[in-house]
Amino acid sequence: MHPTQFSSGDVIADRRADYARMLAESGDPAAAVELMEQALELAPVWPAGLVRLADYAEKSGQPDKAIAALRSVLSLDPEDIFGAQLKLALLGAEKMPDTPPSRYVEALFDDYADRFDTALVERLDYSVPGKLAALVASSPRTGPFACAVDLGCGTGLFGAEIRQHATRLEGFDLSANMLARAEEKNLYDLLARADLSLDPEASGLLAGGLASHRADLVSAADVLMYLGDLANAFSLAANLSQPGALFAFSVEDAAMDEGFALQPSMRYAHSEAHVRQRLSQNGFDVVKHEHTTIRMDGGKPVFGILFLAMNKP
């Protein structure tokens, strides 16, 4: 059974967990905590149940109980597919990590892939692909891109915007399910798995004999909010970029003077200063940037910054 599936393997524990969920949904998280504790007495090494207990405990004003449950999750699941370390950081019990666990991000998008396009475009008014493509089109550069590399390509929303302007289009993503959805659209000349939190050799971006410095356009549409510190991601972009190549990407706007912050959504938001510093350190100059609404979340706008940078010739 996949570790994120919400079953303990014990019928009675599962039934109590179902009742706990109903209590939480009806507005009684404290009662839900009691029932989840009873369920976990029957299934004490159940990571998904402990995550649910932590959620109910936090909502009922019992942070110590939530922290203890999340620490137990980490001990049972060192790869942290549930993002327990991020949750602990949001509770103030751990230092904010510079990057989230790769297995957490991978599982998140594997689960999200089948409903990704509908959820983002139709329900959340997601607009980054079109706006980012327009930013690229507004650059002084003319003519098609010989090789465009779409980092964190997802289901291919940005690929659809840029395909007609690229002779070769490559897409990379951590999620196999996202790559499968992208493949169905027949947009990319190459699709492959890659982990943007790793160095170039380990990331997958150079697998199969792919050359470094092959791209004259690198993109990262709504990807960097799952990375935290952008030093490694921008190093990868520089490794992929030819001299004079464009680098187009988006971040969530941290609305702070410097650094980056982990949001309650468990995504990272970045300051403009952090972005500019990391770009400069990796040989990029900012060509243009644009503050904009990138989508809706809970009925409220999520503000972001779009950047177009150039690898120094």
CB 152 within 8 A of CB 128: no
- How confident is residue 1, by pLDDT bands cut at 50, 70 and 90? very low
Query: For the stretch 272-295, what's the b/e string if a residue is b when 16 or more beta carbons lie within 10 angstroms of its beta carbon?
Result: bebbbbbbeebbbeebebeebebb
Q: For 251, how many CA atoms within 13 A lie in the half-sphere containing its CB? A: 28
**DSSP secondary structure, 264-291, as one string:** TTS-EEE-HHHHHHHHHHTTEEEEEEEE
pLDDT in tens, 227-239: 999 999 999 999 9
Q: What architecture does CATH give domain 107-311?
A: 3-Layer(aba) Sandwich (3.40)
CATH code that applies to domain 11-95? 1.25.40.10
Nearest to 221 by CA among 175, 177, 171: 171
Distances (CA, A) of 184 to 178, 179, 309: 10, 9, 30
Distance CA(290)–CA(264), nearest Å, equals 24
Beta bridge partners of 292: 304
pLDDT in tens, 181-223: 999 999 999 999 999 998 888 899 988 889 999 999 999 999 9
pLDDT value for 3? 43
pLDDT in tens, 241-291: 999 999 999 999 999 999 999 999 999 999 999 999 999 999 999 999 999
pTM above 0.75, yes or no: yes
Is the Cα dihedral 198, 204, 205, 208 positive or negative?
positive
Decide: helix, strand or coil at residue 135: helix
Distance CA(217)–CA(137), nearest Å, equals 12
CB 33 within 8 A of CB 60: yes
List the chain domain ranges: 11-95, 107-311
pLDDT in tens, 95-153: 999 999 999 999 999 887 888 777 776 677 788 999 999 999 999 876 799 999 999 99
CB 225 within 8 A of CB 282: no
pLDDT value for 102? 93
Structure letter (DSSP) for residue 230: -
